[in-house]
Amino acid sequence: MKKTGKYAALTAVGSFIILSPNKAQAQSPPSPGGWYLISRFILKINYIYKD
């Protein structure tokens, strides 16, 4: 149950970042990868917390 809660929280954070890119972009410096880095991060989280 604990593992599922962490997975849900991290997925929610990833979804929030994707759904509000303008706000996230305004608060952070430009990154070399942009959407590529965000998508890789979310895929890595999904792989780590996969049942």
pLDDT at 26: 56
Q: Do residues 49 and 3 touch, judged by C-beta distance below 8 A? A: yes
Confidence class of residue 41 from pLDDT cuts 50, 70 and 90?
Answer: confident
pLDDT at 4: 77
Q: Which two tokens stand for residue 15?
A: 């979804």
Predicted model pTM: 0.36
The amino acid that residue 10 corresponds to is L
d(CA 34, CA 8): 23
